[in-house]
Structure 1
């Protein structure tokens, strides 16, 4: 059992509704006149990502495969997601995770802001990077069941391809987000169903994302 689980930090994390309320509150708070460029850039991302997550919720319905996998969960699971609302990947992927978790009373979702929990984030690095969103599922007694993220495999491959093509990071990100806007976020549904099928009905084991 990880120390942070035993300490209850995960259990005190934000429910999805609380996370969205906090995000909405940030949007409603005007930046001060002396806000620096980084603050303005992040606020810009908050606005665009709010629209993106809302569109995913409008367009998305869990697949039969994912619905069946979640509904087959018999013992309680606690899903931790490390993320931030300024993250473009998370804007498209967290709604899928949240809607999946909502399919079963046995699954509880808690969201930990990455930048306030860097010690936990550093236990789930991706290639040495604090990449988000990162989902880690635990059994009721704190055993890690599976991990997933920060991107579906197809999105990760697309990002690697674009990294070879672009030197400018902003151009790269703009091109990459088109992958999600064209429906690439739906791969999260398929991969979550696969992760769950591997652990449901079996003894706890970690399946890395």
Structure 2
């Protein structure tokens, strides 16, 4: 069991509803007293709000994912490390949240990455604090599976874009376009695969 789990930090994380309310309050604040960097962040918060709203409106969990979820026969806590300014998360966190909502024995909690860097540093991706990162725990604190920060096709695309462009922002813009064209939907099948892979192997007698 990780020390942070034993300390109850995931348990005390934000519910998805609390996370969205916090996000809403941040994005709706006045620009009047903000410095240029804060205005830039506000810009991302508003664009990402529209993106996550679109996913919620368009997404219905697949039968494949629903089937995979039925294999969870124990209470689980799904911890997601993320931030509302993250473009990837705007498209992918709604898929995680919709999946978690289908099972009463799944508790979803959100930890803001920048407030929990010591936790984030235990789940790096190629040495990077990339988000969103989902970690599923049993009640005892055993890790059942992890997923994120991007679906495989988006990860492969972004790697190739980084080689193509000197300016990282150009690569990010094309990645966002990929998501806007429906690239976020592959998170559904990958989450189903992760759930199946986490099932205990049948005992042999």
The bucket for the TM-score relative to the shorter chain is: over 0.9
Tell me what 1:89 maps to: 88
Tell me what 2:100 maps to: 101
CA shift, 1:200, in A, is 2.8
CA shift, 1:72, in A, is 2.3
Tell me what 1:56 maps to: 55
Q: Deviations over 1:33-78 (max 9, x none)?
A: 3x22221111100000000000000000000010111122110110
Tell me what 1:25 maps to: 25
* TM-score, normalised by the number of residues in structure 2: 0.96
- 3-state DSSP class of the match of 1:41? helix
- How do residues 92-131 of structure 1 correspond to structure 2 at under 5 angstroms? 92-131=91-130
- 3-state DSSP class of the match of 1:30? coil
- 3-state DSSP class of the match of 2:12? coil
Query: 2 CA distance for matches of 1:165 and 1:117?
Result: 33
Instruction: Extract structure 1 runs of 4+ deviating beyond 2 A.
Output: 200-203
**Aligned positions, number:** 202
- 3-state DSSP class of the match of 2:80? strand
* TM-score, normalised by the number of residues in structure 1: 0.94
CA RMSD, aligned part only? 1.1
Against the structure 1 CA distance between its residues 110 and 48, is the aligned structure 2 distance closer, same or farther, given a 3 Å change threshold?
same
CA shift, 1:14, in A, is 0.4
Match status 1:149 vs 2:140 = no
Query: 2 CA distance for matches of 1:160 and 1:143?
Result: 32
CA shift, 1:202, in A, is 4.2
Tell me what 2:16 maps to: 16
Tell me what 1:186 maps to: 185
Uncovered stretches (5+) of structure 2, i.e. residues with no partner: none
Uncovered stretches (5+) of structure 1, i.e. residues with no partner: 204-209
Against the structure 1 CA distance between its residues 71 and 98, is the aligned structure 2 distance closer, same or farther, given a 3 Å change threshold?
same
